[in-house]
Amino acid sequence: QASRLVELPYSSFDDDDGHSLPRDAAEQDPGVWYPDPPKASPFSRCVRYLAFLWNLLFLLLGLLILAVGVWGLLAKSPVPGGEPGVPLGSDPMLLFVLAGLAASAVSLAGCLGAFRASPCLLRFFLGAVLAFGGLEVLGGLLLLLARRRLRDALRDLLLLCLLRYQEDPDLQFLVDEVQRSLQCCGLESYRDWESNPYFNCSAPGVQACGVPASCCQDPLQSGSVPNAQCGFGVLGLGAAAAGAVVHLGGCGAALGAWLRGQAGAIAAGATALVLVEAVGALMGLRGLRD
């Protein structure tokens, strides 16, 4: 056999069992037989292609979220020579950037791991998916065990939104949407807007002693364009006169009631997210085993 390797260095030959000896391996160690690796079954190939497409879809979704976050940060960047913008650490668009980066990185690892059959990338993908799933389950348990603290944190968040209403466009949009959709005003009542330095009655601007237009009961006022000044001077009126113009009830109780009504939809969404991650993890495990 050794002489045969010398005479035919570029040919392959069969052993007694019918397995072919790889040319490079046989030249290195002619005394060791290397059987051909088993071919993947049609089911394994189907799972591999499906895992690639599955992760490609979430890669595109992650890139879209990342693009939205970057666009939001750039859109609010301060103009040279103008007032400073929103601090980066407190910008809500930073959450979109981080979520997009995490989803893109994990999905890219899943795509390349399925396409290249790389055990290293598949292990990274499985570890990241399991870590995200564990954090989601832990967060759900904490929400169930600390519902009172969650309500307090939600109240503090709403109060912070009221105080920074004019400073952050994202918070302004969020507050306006909540007040408009839930037909409420302020945290406990419309009087909470007195704590905002721009709507306080001692403020020097035209918005002094007023509330945002999203508090108005009829912001259009029988027109086609919303009247941005419909809430001006409301804090200087009595409760009866103010009730004819704006919603008097606060958004804290209204938002809590809305969340309780949406508990089923929130649970269904969380379950669907866990199932999506479980399907990806199962396909990754199948590819890693193959």
Q: Report the first-to-last Cα separation within the chain, whole angstroms.
A: 34
Cβ–Cβ < 8 Å for 239, 248 = yes
At residue 249, the 3 state secondary structure works out as strand
Residue 18 clears pLDDT 50, i.e. is over it: no
Distance (Å) of CA 168 to CA 162, 201, 204, 213, 258: 10, 21, 20, 17, 25
Question: Residues with Cβ < 8 Å from 146, sequence gap 6 or more?
Answer: none
- Residue 36 sits at the vertex; the CA angle it makes with 6 and 23, to the nearest 5 degrees, is 20
pLDDT tens track for 97-136:
999 999 999 999 999 998 888 889 999 999 999 998 888 8
Q: What pLDDT sits at residue 34?
A: 61
pLDDT tens track for 181-220:
889 998 888 998 988 888 888 888 888 888 998 899 887 7
Token reading at 253: 């109780």
Least trusted range by pLDDT, from 15-29, 56-70, 97-111: 15-29
Residue in this structure with the two tokens 């939104």, named with its chain if needed: 161
CB atoms within 10 A of CB 270: 14
**Among residues 227, 173, 162, 174, which one has the least CA distance to residue 198?**
162
**Among residues 215, 152, 211, 151, which one has the least CA distance to residue 182?**
215
Q: If 0-12 CB within 10 Å is exposed, 13-18 middle and 19+ buried, where does residue 191 land?
A: middle
CB atoms within 10 A of CB 264: 8
Q: What pLDDT sits at residue 105?
A: 93
